[in-house]
Chains A and B, each alone.
Chain A
Amino acid sequence: MTEFLTAAVGFILAMLALGLVSILRGPGDTDRMMAAQLIGTGGIAALLLLGTVTGVPAAVDVALTLALLATFASIAFVKKGLSSLEADGTGSTEDQ
């Protein structure tokens, strides 16, 4: 069981790395915005599995923190930071 879960963490990590390569290479800033979302989802899965493998139950708390902060970082990426008001798709251009 432990070996299987460790292999699963490694596999998810490899998928994360491949996804990162594809996202960070992607032409344009819009593609790179997805990076925080990718790491959020994949990182949570890896952390939960890692917590079970290494017997560190507090890893679940780290996963919880990661979920919140990755969401916050994603939104900050879309808005391109707090100090600018660049067009970010959240203004009145939303179609109803």
Chain B
Amino acid sequence: MSIAAAFEVALAAVVLGLGIWTIAVRETYSATVGFVAYGLLVALIWVRLDAVDVALTEAAIGGGLGGVLLLGAAARLRDAGPTAAEAPGKVVRVTAAILSVLTAAALAGAVLLLPDPAPTLAPKAVANASATGLANPVTNVLMAFRAMDTMLEKVVLLLAIIGVWSLAPDDAWGGHPGPRHQADPLGVLVFLARLLPPIGIVVGIYIFWTGANHPGGAFQGGAILASMWLLAIMAGLTDTPPVGRRWLRFILVAGPGLFLVVGLGGLWFGAAFLAYPPAQAKPLILGIEVAMILTIAATLGLLLAGAPERSVK
């Protein structure tokens, strides 16, 4: 077996073992740690499969932000107290296991039994890059060929944040999400929270900007920006903004809003909804992405901050 193949088998074995441990372990905190580690390692697999855009998203969302979201959920479950009476019975668990195994087997079969060469539109997407002037085929697909899907995904994010906010108690409506964090202002955490966010913001904007021609994009950049904002919140350097503020809500709708405006403009002045005039395709796409990265950063940050708990007064 060649070295490369041995390495791939080893990587797959480690990720698989970690996944099994994450499911089998008892405590939720340990499972969350395992999940984050799993996400970060799967990013390695994506790089090996030459899907760097997916690797960036996996590292940002699956590893960092998704894990912290689960951590918050685990903490709330602990606070809510043991609910042994609500634990799922054996029948439910066995059914869930069987369904999961069947789904995994179906996916594995679909991947292994693909006709060779597999049917794909990738060469066409790469060949039509001249339509927008951007060299990254993933960005072309996301922002030009399937722009409708991307716009609707941003609307889904908006619906998610509304859903989270709807969990607020009546007197905290429009208030600050989450508790007020505090840390020793001369301590290590505050030091890191002052030093890292400027670097992180530069990296986030870089990853977004380089997405035009190299792997990257607004979503990954927005996730990095959100994590830096949350870092400042966790160190107590800034408080979560009250969710009733107009400017915050404007930022949340700016991304899908601008997308919609451009799409309707395409309908009025051009050929179809979301049709870009070829000469202005690149500036339009970049403009939409600027609005999108702000919306994504704000939405992801607020999703992790949780439902409002403290009223504004």
Residues in A lying within 8 Å of B, measured CB to CB: 3, 6-7, 9-10, 13-14, 16-17, 20, 24, 29, 32-33, 35-36, 39-40, 43, 46-47, 50-51, 53-54, 56, 58-59, 61-62, 64-66, 68-73, 75-77, 79-86, 90-92, 94, 96
Q: Chain B contact residues (Cβ within 8 angstroms of A): what range?
A: 35 or more
* Cβ-defined contact, B33 with A75, below 8 A: no
Instruction: Write the chain B residue with the least CB distance to A84.
Output: B75
Task: From the candidates B27, B68, B188, B203, name the one contacting A82 in the complex (CB within 8 A).
Answer: B68
Task: From the candidates A10, A14, A62, A86, name the one contacting B47 in the complex (CB within 8 A).
Answer: A62
* Cβ-defined contact, A91 with B182, below 8 A: yes
Known A76-B71, A90-B189; contact A58-B215, beta-carbon cutoff 8 A: yes
> Per-residue CB proximity of B5-38 to A under 8 Å, as 1/0?
0110011001001100100010101100110110
Task: From the candidates B52, B68, B186, B203, name the one contacting A81 in the complex (CB within 8 A).
Answer: B68
Chain B residue contacts of A35, Cβ below 8 A:
33-34, 36-37
Chain B residue contacts of A64, Cβ below 8 A:
203, 207
With an 8 A cutoff between CB atoms, is B146 at the interface? Answer: no
Instruction: Write the chain A residue with the least CB distance to B204.
Output: A68
* Cβ-defined contact, A47 with B44, below 8 A: yes
* Cβ-defined contact, B179 with A83, below 8 A: yes
* Cβ-defined contact, B10 with A72, below 8 A: no
Task: From the candidates B43, B44, B72, B231, name the one contacting A72 in the complex (CB within 8 A).
Answer: B231
Residues in B lying within 8 Å of A, measured CB to CB: 3-4, 6-7, 10-11, 14, 17-18, 21, 25, 27, 29-30, 33-34, 36-37, 40-41, 43-44, 47-48, 50, 52, 55-56, 59-60, 63-65, 67-68, 71-72, 74-76, 79, 178-179, 181-184, 186-189, 192, 196, 199-200, 203, 207, 210, 214-216, 220, 223-224, 227-228, 230-231, 233-235, 304-306
Shortest A25–chain B CB gap in Å is: 9
* Cβ-defined contact, A85 with B179, below 8 A: yes
* Cβ-defined contact, A54 with B47, below 8 A: yes
Give the complex CA separation of A42 and B301 in angstroms: 27
Give the complex CA separation of A21 and B160 in angstroms: 36
Chain B residue contacts of A84, Cβ below 8 A:
72, 75-76, 79, 179
Instruction: Write the chain A residue with the least CB distance to B13.
Output: A17
Chain B residue contacts of A94, Cβ below 8 A:
184, 186-188
Shortest B108–chain A CB gap in Å is: 23
Chain B residue contacts of A77, Cβ below 8 A:
33, 36, 71
Known A3-B3, A17-B14, A68-B224; contact A61-B210, beta-carbon cutoff 8 A: yes
* Cβ-defined contact, A36 with B36, below 8 A: yes
A sample of 23 inter-chain contacts (CB < 8 A) reads: A7-B3, A20-B14, A20-B18, A36-B40, A47-B43, A54-B50, A59-B47, A61-B56, A65-B60, A65-B224, A68-B228, A69-B59, A70-B40, A72-B64, A72-B231, A82-B68, A82-B233, A82-B304, A84-B75, A90-B184, A90-B187, A92-B184, A94-B188
Instruction: Write the chain A residue with the least CB distance to B47.
Output: A59
Give the complex CA separation of A82 and B32 in angstroms: 14
Chain B residue contacts of A24, Cβ below 8 A:
21, 25, 30, 33-34, 37
Chain A residue contacts of B41, Cβ below 8 A:
39, 43
* Cβ-defined contact, B44 with A43, below 8 A: yes
Chain A residue contacts of B10, Cβ below 8 A:
10, 13-14, 17
Chain A residue contacts of B76, Cβ below 8 A:
83-84
Shortest A23–chain B CB gap in Å is: 9
* Cβ-defined contact, B36 with A13, below 8 A: no
* Cβ-defined contact, B11 with A82, below 8 A: no
Task: From the candidates B14, B48, B188, name the one contacting A90 in the complex (CB within 8 A).
Answer: B188
Give the complex CA separation of A75 and B192 in angstroms: 10
Shortest B28–chain A CB gap in Å is: 11
Give the complex CA separation of A56 and B60 in angstroms: 19
